[in-house]
Chains A and B, each alone.
Chain A
Amino acid sequence: MDYLGDISIAHAKGGRRGKAVIPSETMRDQIDDLQRRVSKEIEEAGTLAELDEVRIKYLGKKGELTNLLKAVGSLPKEERPEFGAKVNSLREAIETGLREKSGYLDRKALDEKVRREVADVTLPGNLPEIGSLHPITKALREIVQIFYGMGFTVYESREAETDEMNFVKLNLAPGHPARDAQDTLYLTDTTLLRTHTSPGQIRGMLEMEGRLPVRFIVPGRVYRRDPFDASHSPVFHQVEGLVIDRHITFEDLKGCFLEFARGFFGPDTQIRLRPSYFPFTEPSAEIDVSCTICRGRGCQVCSRTGWLELSGAGMVHPRVIRNGGYDPEEVTGFAFGFGLDRAAMLKWGIDDLRVLFENDLRFLTQFEGL
């Protein structure tokens, strides 16, 4: 690399212009010589220290270029400006050369340092603690979001209830055979642990005090007198939905539930409504969703039917509407209720209800994630 290239050209031009004046010829030789040497030494300097030596040798207080500048004073007066300018431009050229070389060496040293610093990227990173929501909460959050999108809000109702709210107001008078289907855990003769989230329908309606529309879901814990097994638990969770308004029909129920099922289980999910019986709805329906495992083709989980029972539903019984403080001649409504645990199990392919309540870390950690 020729660090002083452009100075050499300037010197050559000066050479053509200059006449044969001996002192100046000598001077010119000295400049040429110095230029050659500096250029060579800068080029050869391999470290910043060596480069610094070159700087001191030529540009230091007693450096050669300094001496040369002093010698310009002994030249004939008319030649001094020319040589003074030459020496000065040589000085600038040397300084530039030194700076560039220094930059080069500095970068080279940095590159060298960087080259030596190597991480084994396959070593594991320093992982922060990772937490997780329980699948029941995870499922509920998804469900809640879907219903928010359909204009629903959430109503949270109490778990210990009166027989009146849990049964009578829902058209289940004492001795009603449908009470048997919900083996009840009583606290006293008149109070119990709610067997379904349906009393939330009554409490929620009463709190609305006749305002329309009524659109809410009631998620929460429910209790049955069931022993613990793969598909039963004395404590489980339900999501109840209630819509009361003018002109609400069975078709709205179908549309609303389909929207939910597709949002929760996937856009190609189908639903099937079958007549069923709940004292608080009329007509009543059982809602099946296409099997989440086999997508409706038939498998073990769906007993080869392609359908999974998910929810009870129906048009709210006129008596229940009245018990909620609304006039069944003026408004109609639909309601549905399904097992949140079951929905979560179907969504993630969990085959045993008990694992939801065991809280084994090997289970919980599977639900890490956003």
Chain B
Amino acid sequence: MKVPWKWLNEYVELDWTPEEACERLTLAGVKVEELTYEKVDLSGVVSALVEDVSPHPSRPDLRVGLLSTGTGRFTVVSGAPGLLKGNMVLLAVPGSRLPGGMAVETKSVAGVESQGMVVCSNEILAGAEHRPGEDIILLPAGIPLGLAAQEIIDLDDWVMDLDLTVNYSHCLSILGVALEASVLSGKPLKLPSLLEKWDWAGPWGSRRPEDDPEMPGEWKIELADPDLCPRYVGKLVRGVRQTYSPPEIERRLMLAGMRPISAIVDATNYVMLETGQPLHAFDADKLEGRVIWARRAKRGEAIETLDGEERPLDEGMLVIADAHGPVAVAGVMGGARTEVSGETRNILLESAFFAPIPTRRASRKLRLRTEAALRFEKTLDPTAQPVAIERAAGLISEYTGGVPEPARSDANVMEPVNKSILFSTRVIKRALGAPISAGRCREIFESLRFAPGPVTKVGEWETMEVTVPPRRVDIEEEIDLCEEIARHHGYHNFEPRLLSPATPGGPPSREYVWSDKLKDFLVSMGGREVVTTSLLSQEDLNAMGWDAGDARGTPVPLQDPLSSNESVLRTSLLPGLLRVVFRNQSVRMPGGFFWETGRVFYPSAEELPLEALQLGLAMYGNLREASWVEGSLEATFYRLKGVVEALLRLMGLEASFLPGASMPFHPGISARVVAGHSTVGEIGEVHPLVMRNLNLTGRCATGWLSIEAILAMAKEKRFTPVSRFMQVERDIAVAVDAGVLAGDVIKVVEETARDLASVRVFDVYDKPPVPEGKKSLALRLTYRPSDRTLTEEDLSTDRDRIIDALRARVGGEIRL
């Protein structure tokens, strides 16, 4: 909503600067998004008297005028009807500039030299050619000669661009903003004479006895769907002629963001901007029959709108129709068939109340975000229709010479609204805290043109009955009145107060604390936390090798996605993480270790999808590049596994890694992470096929863990006494068949050895002298006896026992 400063000041004379006004309005909730100074650059355009006019020697449609600016005389060729002897006009002398950079020169027009041009309003406002039938600007007599155009027509102005919240529909008009400014500044509201009758609460809302829906000999209005259109006011203006609005009016419309069209259309727009009530003008002679219907569109109906587009309608849309069919999409845009044109002689004005939701729906569906629709989408003042139509009829009459019919047609099924709300200072004390007196509240209500009743004392509180005018559709209950008090008292006038410290705060649960610890651990492992989108495409999932048989391939879809790239909810963090790998590979980063925690979603039998919290991990390339001290650290399956092992160990979890995980993992280089008899995650290298699908290069290790599962099993550590005896290490190397799992070998050792603290694999070797088809595992056993110092004999006995067990259980042959 754009508010030209001078227009606003016509209704309330503010002693603020435009900047101050912006600040004050914004702090009262009428947010000014931007303040701009709009200037029309006219240099060398001055008032001039037509001293003489003679015919053009060769062109009957042109004439040659002799103009005086007081300091000079100019010969000008023009076809404008207003170029008549004795008229005062605006002359752009040679060398002057018009908006849009148009330069005026002396030039030959059909053989006669023309020194500059006499201008029309389109030329000085838009810098464009004169419009069909547009005459030059005629100035009132008595204006001094040679006066600059800016001195005559006030064109420069400040414009405040408002960004209003949906409850501020009462500020979708210059008058509404003027009222707010009047309340804030204490300056009186000055209304145009007609609008003065608008008492903001009163009888205009109801129908006058003389306003019959059936105008004698004219149109009958039928409210076929009163839920969509409960009120429709019509008024006939006869004998209009095509003309353009005065330049000042056109300029105001332009400053407010609207394009001037013709005096009739401009008048409807002007009144809409002024009062907030959208209006429409039909060419009355093009309406068929004598009944105006406000009805739902019929199946298959269409309308050619004013913009020349043929638009299909549906049964959810309200149309205005005559005997032939729709003539307007109600509240959105009029139709071309009944459009006001140069030939129009009689017009029918429309001023209606359309229901907001269907209007919004129609406007969105037709992609017609017109100024009218933007207003009807909000609930408007249900009483403004008559006053607005009278105001428009008056302006049209003034500009076009048309004669309004005295009566207007008013079909109205709306119940008269009488919003009377009991207001108590208790609500002020409870919600706002600050003591604002009943007297002050009453003052604010009065300045807002509400009607507060007398103040009554009830216990410790003071109450009053407040009647709220219908235009304030946002005010429904006491707490809404409280907000009016708060914003006019000024939010900045409330003192900040600290909450009582009596309540201890802190994390809600052990799981919350542990999930933070988990993040800290991953940071300490060199992991980079990432945040990726939860919205993926089906293709993203397919690229991971998840088909319809896989739960991860059948995501929760969005009903109406913005694009197919963001059309399903993620079932895993891995697609997002691998996209991060791709991103970093594509900008030539040598390697990285990424992780993310977040929700994944699965369809469920319940109303809402299942949400699960997951940890995702992915690494590629060099995690640390070689330095002069040591070699590079490569992202491998084993590196990732080490991180996961450490994580699980620090959480006190006993987990095992079983070979072979599903897609997107490499079947031979992946594992399921099993803890407490259930799979809590998977890790592995990315399957080469998936690498290809995602355009990834090199090798990449990835994995996921169910955070809920591991946090549920996480255990706090318990202290075990530290042995006083020294620990001893012994190595053992065992050759087993290549297919035997190291985990099984380690398990045998762990189960057999006594006083064993840990087993570490320090070498795996499968080349000669290790026989073909075998591999040798070198193990370091750390003994940590609790009650004695181990003797060589103890160790040798233990070793023999281990050797026997390895031979028996995994076919192991001792090599060392």
Contacts and interface: CB of A to CB of B under 8 A. Distances in A.
Interface of A: 123-124, 126-134, 136-137, 141, 144, 147-156, 158-162, 175, 177-178, 180-181, 185-191, 193, 213, 215-216, 221, 223, 225-227, 233-235, 243, 247, 249-252, 254-256, 258-259, 272-277, 282-286, 303, 315, 317-318, 332, 356-362, 364-365
30 contacts: A123-B628, A131-B529, A134-B529, A137-B529, A150-B505, A151-B499, A152-B505, A155-B508, A159-B534, A177-B166, A177-B377, A187-B556, A215-B499, A223-B534, A225-B560, A235-B533, A250-B433, A251-B434, A255-B495, A275-B29, A276-B29, A276-B31, A277-B168, A284-B483, A315-B432, A359-B531, A359-B583, A361-B592, A362-B589, A364-B530
B150 interface: no
Contacts of B498: 150, 252, 255-256, 259
A357 B503 contact: no
B526 interface: yes
Report whether over half of chain A's contact residues are helix, strand or loop; otherwise say mixed.
mixed
B505 A124 contact: no
Contact of A131 (B500, B556, B593, B608): B593
Interface centre among B500, B526, B530 (most CB of A within 10 A): B530
List 7 A-B pairs, minimum CB-CB distance, nearest first. Answer: A129-B526, A275-B29, A249-B433, A151-B503, A277-B165, A283-B483, A255-B496
Interface string B523-565: 1111111111111000000000000000000001111111100
B430 A274 contact: no
B672 interface: no
Interface centre among B497, B507, B532 (most CB of A within 10 A): B497
B227 interface: no
Nearest to B601: A160
Contacts of A141: 516
Nearest to A212: B503
Interface string B470-499: 000010000110110011000110111111
B505 A133 contact: no
A155 B580 CA distance: 29
Contacts of B378: 177
Contacts of B598: 221
B704 interface: no
Contact of A151 (B504, B534, B566): B504
Contact of B528 (A128, A273, A356, A364): A364
Given A188-B559, A235-B534, A360 B432 contact: no
B701 to A, nearest CB: 15
B576 to A, nearest CB: 9
Contacts of B594: 359
Interface in B603-629: 607-609, 611, 623-624, 627-629
Contacts of B377: 177
A147 B523 CA distance: 24
Contact of A274 (B26, B502, B503, B530): B26
Nearest to A283: B483
B28 interface: yes
B556 A160 contact: yes
B29 A221 contact: no
A284 B527 CA distance: 42
B407 interface: no
Nearest to A248: B499
B460 interface: no
Given A133-B529, A283-B486, A359-B531, A160 B497 contact: no
Given A256-B499, A332-B430, A359-B594, A277 B28 contact: no
Given A250-B432, A251-B434, A255-B499, A215 B505 contact: yes
A250 B528 contact: no
B495 A251 contact: yes
A154 B584 contact: no
A34 to B, nearest CB: 51
Contacts of A255: 495-499
B264 to A, nearest CB: 31
B166 A161 contact: no
Contacts of B599: 159, 221
Contact of A153 (B26, B166, B360, B506): B506
A274 B491 contact: yes
B765 interface: no
Interface of B: 26-29, 31, 34, 165-168, 356-357, 360, 377-378, 430-434, 474, 479-480, 482-483, 486-487, 491-492, 494-508, 512, 516, 519, 522-535, 556-563, 566, 569, 580, 583-584, 587, 589, 592-594, 598-599, 601, 607-609, 611, 623-624, 627-630, 633
A315 B566 contact: no
A161 B594 CA distance: 29
Contact of B503 (A187, A188, A213): A213
Given A249-B432, A274-B31, A361-B584, A282 B483 contact: yes
Given A133-B519, A177-B360, A254-B495, A359 B479 contact: no
A100 B132 CA distance: 120
Contacts of A189: 559
A126 B628 CA distance: 9
A161 B556 CA distance: 13
Given A131-B527, A249-B430, A175 B494 contact: no
A161 B502 contact: no
Given A153-B506, A252-B499, A234 B434 contact: no
B531 A134 contact: yes
Nearest to B567: A185
B593 A187 contact: no
B598 to A, nearest CB: 8
B496 A187 contact: no
B471 to A, nearest CB: 16
Contact of B431 (A158, A175, A303, A315): A315
Given A127-B627, A132-B529, A185-B561, 10 more contacts: A124-B627, A129-B623, A160-B601, A177-B356, A180-B166, A187-B559, A187-B569, A234-B535, A286-B31, A360-B589
Contact of B589 (A156, A213, A233, A361): A361
A360 B583 contact: yes
A247 B426 CA distance: 12
A170 to B, nearest CB: 14
A235 B507 CA distance: 25
A187 B431 CA distance: 37
A126 B630 contact: yes
Given A235-B534, A252-B433, A284-B483, A186 B524 contact: no
B431 A274 contact: no
Contacts of A136: 531
B563 to A, nearest CB: 8
B162 to A, nearest CB: 13
Contact of B512 (A126, A154, A181): A154
A136 B519 CA distance: 13
B166 A277 contact: yes
Contacts of B165: 178, 276-277
A141 B512 CA distance: 12
A187 B558 contact: yes
A163 to B, nearest CB: 10
Contacts of A362: 587, 589
Interface centre among A151, A190, A255, A359 (most CB of B within 10 A): A359
Contact of A148 (B505, B533, B607): B505
B496 A258 contact: yes
Given A162-B608, A249-B433, A131 B522 contact: yes
Contacts of B494: 250-251, 254, 273
A226 B594 CA distance: 27
A131 B525 contact: yes
Interface centre among B523, B556, B559, B608 (most CB of A within 10 A): B608
B432 A132 contact: no
Contacts of B628: 123-124
Nearest to B523: A131
Nearest to A259: B498
Contacts of B508: 153-156, 216
A3 to B, nearest CB: 44
